A and B are shown apart, each in its own frame.
Chain A
Amino acid sequence: MPRRSGSMFWRIFRQLLRASRGRLTVALIALTSGAAISSALLNINLDAEQKLRHEFRTLGANVVVAPPSAGSDAALADASIIDRIAGAGASQLVAAAPYLYVAANVGTQPVILAGTWFDQVAKMNSWWKVDGAWVTSRDDSSHCLVGQAAARQFGLAPGSHIDLRAGERSVSLTVNGIITAGGDEDSQIITSLDVAQNLAAAEGSILGRIRGMIFWTIMLILILTTLGVLASMAALAMERSRDVGLMKALGGSVQRIMRLFLAEAAALGVVGGTIGFAIGVLLARWIGGRVFGVAISPRLAVFPATIILAVGVALLGALPLRLLGRVRPAEILRGE
């Protein structure tokens, strides 16, 4: 009974994989490594910022409203949301305050800066112990409150001056009070929302640069991966030139023969991408724990992105096999 040629295609495909498993394993290792690092970086890029924002504040208010995504603009609070919160059920509302967290520096040492409304902070956190005085004006842009741990770290007391810097922007503030909150705030500096927004804009540009760095790192890794795959495929192409010459002599069209090789490369990409994604998730967790102190959660969107990148790299790396389409069967069969 004649069979569809599709089944013969997969029959040859399987034998081809089996016959070349040594070279293909080398290519697969290259692809898996590239996919793993790319997947880890993509996961970190997507998850780290949001994860840090959630970690910043999990206690201290009944309701926390956070921006939904991790874009650079998302770090800036939308004033209209604050108005809507204040408007909804205003009669039961004791206090409401926006919080904008910014990673800043005092000298060379990092510190978390929390921008908020000073007048609401006292109402929401009446149990805080304050050495010195609260800042009472909501938009006071020249004073700040400092958590007791941060004060100890930077040697601050009420009346001290502190210079805060984020990227190329800086601000000089006077410490109004040292707070003991019994929570994360003890290691933070609390400023007005305006001061935090001003510094956050600089932080946004830093985040943009970090993302740019991650993008180019991924590109570089993909180029190196492509070179690794190219090397394996070039050796494979040398081994297969006689077979391709023979297939052409038997009446095999270039398209039909190349379809085999491209399917082989695509399969390598899918397998390498899948394994690489799994390794990348573990790698991202490890890097997250070591660098940020938080576990990076895997993002599902990274999986198809990793597969697409790995398949793309595999097809690009299969260029030497594609060039086999040019072999002249008479020359190959003569042994030239």
Chain B
Amino acid sequence: MTPLVQVENLEKRFDAVRALADVSFEVEAGEWIAIIGPSGSGKTTLINILGGLDHPTAGRVVVDGMEIGQLSERELTRYRSDKIGFVFQQFHLVPYLTALENVMLAQYFHSITDEKEAAEALRRVGLAERLEHLPAQLSGGEQQRVAIARALINHPKLILADEPTGNLDEENEATILKLLHELHSAGHTILVVTHSQAIGNLADRRVELEHGRLARITLPVR
């Protein structure tokens, strides 16, 4: 069976700075992968390339049969709306749209909006009472749950979460990790960027980066 994600000899340079060098790994559909490493190790760069937000300088990245480096800007836009669900550390919700509208925004860019389905997605993450709230009226944990509902709404092939609990307290962190765990159990493929060993140990495998290079791929310690 072909892996959902294939990364081969990936290199990314920003002018003279080499952010990633010779990174190779594969991800099977339904896996939960933790990308671990200290600050500046290239974790976010890697996830940006996998999410079609950045182009690789060299090497191949294939997701669900599509080679990222070969896609035009228009195709990358389509790729992001069809295949990827993003969860960011800073939540990145549109501040003037309600929780419901933020979820519907992803539907709008994907195809057509379905208010009922968007409301259901928010109910699943425990925000049934917060549909009409603006992001500023929500706690950090609630905002991140809106972002997760938004990431799931178009049934993406791959969920990319960049430090999803980085801005949350322990209680909210536990809620978000529980949600990710449920998504994994439901068969979603998840790549979580984290510098936390504890979160890394929740994954099926850990891809460890150091100075832009793949240091090792390990199994979690439980």
Contacts and interface: CB of A to CB of B under 8 A. Distances in A.
B44 A334 contact: yes
A12 B108 contact: yes
A253 B74 contact: yes
B96 A249 contact: no
B48 A330 contact: yes
Contact of A256 (B48, B106, B109): B109
Nearest to B84: A251
A109 interface: no
A5 B101 CA distance: 12
Contacts of A2: 112-114, 117
Contacts of B101: 11-12, 15
B18 interface: no
A251 B109 contact: yes
Contacts of B77: 248, 251-254
Interface string A177-208: 00000000000000000000000000000000
A9 B79 CA distance: 21
Interface stretch (B28-36, B86-94, B179-187): B86-94
B112 A251 contact: no
A242 B93 CA distance: 10
A12 B44 contact: no
B53 A8 contact: no
A308 interface: no
A333 B109 contact: no
Interface of B: 44, 48, 51, 53-54, 74, 77-82, 84, 86, 88, 90, 92, 94-97, 101, 104-117, 150
Nearest to B154: A251
A312 interface: no
A15 B105 CA distance: 12
Contacts of B84: 251
Size band of the interface chain A makes with B: 20 to 34
B113 A333 contact: no
Nearest to A2: B114
A88 interface: no
Given A15-B97, A330-B48, A330-B53, A251 B114 contact: no
B95 A19 contact: yes
Contact of B113 (A8, A243, A256): A8
Contacts of A16: 96
Nearest to A19: B96
Contact of A250 (B79, B86, B90): B86
A243 B108 CA distance: 15
Contacts of B107: 8
A33 to B, nearest CB: 27
A301 interface: no
A249 B51 CA distance: 8
Contacts of B74: 253
Contact of B110 (A251, A254, A328): A251
Contacts of B86: 249-250
B53 A333 contact: yes
A59 interface: no
A258 interface: no
B106 A250 contact: yes
Interface in A1-55: 1-5, 7-9, 11-12, 15-16, 18-19
Nearest to B88: A333
Nearest to B106: A250
Contact of B81 (A7, A9, A251, A333): A251
A326 to B, nearest CB: 10
A3 B105 CA distance: 13
A5 B81 CA distance: 15
Contact of A8 (B44, B48, B79, B108): B108
A94 to B, nearest CB: 77
Contacts of A18: 96
A329 interface: yes
B114 A247 contact: no
A130 interface: no
Nearest to B94: A243
